[in-house]
Amino acid sequence: MKIYLATGNLNKKKEMTQILSGHTIITPKDEGIDFNPVENGTTFYENSIIKAKALYEIVHCPVIADDSGITADALCGIPGIYSSRYAGPEFPKGRPDGTKIPQDEQNRLLIAQLNNALAAGADTSRLKNGPRSAHYTCAMVLYLGNDRVFISQETMEGTIVEKIEDAAGTGGFGYDPIFFLPQYNKTAAQLTAEEKNAISHRGKATRALVRIINGIENI
């Protein structure tokens, strides 16, 4: 089945192609489609719907869209839906001019912001996985038309490393080198693709939609 993926992120395409084996995954760029919707939702779900609907209205074929990001739990939602735009404590929602900073800098700034919050006495008593607990979230939409929409949302739990020197791994992307998984004693970037897809927020959300895809006739 041909499924359009509402992203320009080649890393996401690679992950989704691995998880959705047996289906042909196409991004807008693959077909020369100009696609850059304004993601002005206030939740991961809202942004995924915005992207899915915008691409469906162009291609009129099945579309999968996701919105995902990382949250340091002690920072009460930061960076969250602004993960890709995050530019440190002064610009947690991104720089006003829209420019993005390199991922390594985002990683360094997030560690520093978390460390500063903990040193200042941030209340972490509610955090079951400790003061450095964090989670990835992925909201994913299968869009088949205005009245045929399926949604799944999943998380991957872990912690943020204590210092940038602890960042490790060359796999994955984004904040994976600083996202530590105690059960593996590795960062997400140190996992194999198969290991990560088995436990990741995006892997779990995608598999939920795969069950829907496989159960629908005349999709």
CB contact burial 20-31 (16+ within 10 A = b; e otherwise): beebebbbbeee
Is 67 an active-site residue?
yes
Longest dimension (CA), the chain: 57
Tokens representing residue 200 in the block: 């990741």
Q: Which of 30, 34, 66, 67 is catalytic?
A: 67
Give every CB contact of residue 63 below 8 A, 6+ residues apart in sequence: 3, 4, 5, 6, 52, 55, 56, 141, 142, 143, 144
3-state secondary structure of 19: helix
Closest CA to 175 of 43, 6, 11: 11
pLDDT digit string, tens, across residues 73-127? 999 999 999 999 999 999 999 999 989 999 999 999 999 999 999 999 998 988 8
The answer to whether the CB of 170 falls within 8 A of the CB of 189 is: yes
Residue 217 has pLDDT above 70, yes or no: no
| pLDDT-based confidence at residue 22 (cuts at 50, 70, 90) | confident
DSSP code, position 21: T
Is position 152 annotated in a ligand binding site? Answer: no
- Dihedrals phi, psi of 116, to nearest 5 degrees: -65, -40
Share of the chain above pLDDT 70, in %: 99
Is position 175 annotated in a ligand binding site? Answer: yes
Residue 9 has pLDDT above 90, yes or no: no
* More confident: 217 or 156: 156
**Partners of 159 in the β-ladder:** 133, 180
Is position 173 annotated in a ligand binding site? Answer: yes
Scanning the structure block, which residue is given the tokens 């998984």?
A: 181
Is position 201 annotated in a ligand binding site? Answer: yes
**Partners of 4 in the β-ladder:** 26, 63
The answer to whether the CB of 29 falls within 8 A of the CB of 8 is: yes
Q: Which of 19-33, 105-119, 128-142 is least confident?
A: 19-33
Class assignment of domain 2-215? alpha beta
Is position 207 annotated in a ligand binding site? Answer: no
Is position 42 annotated in a ligand binding site? Answer: no
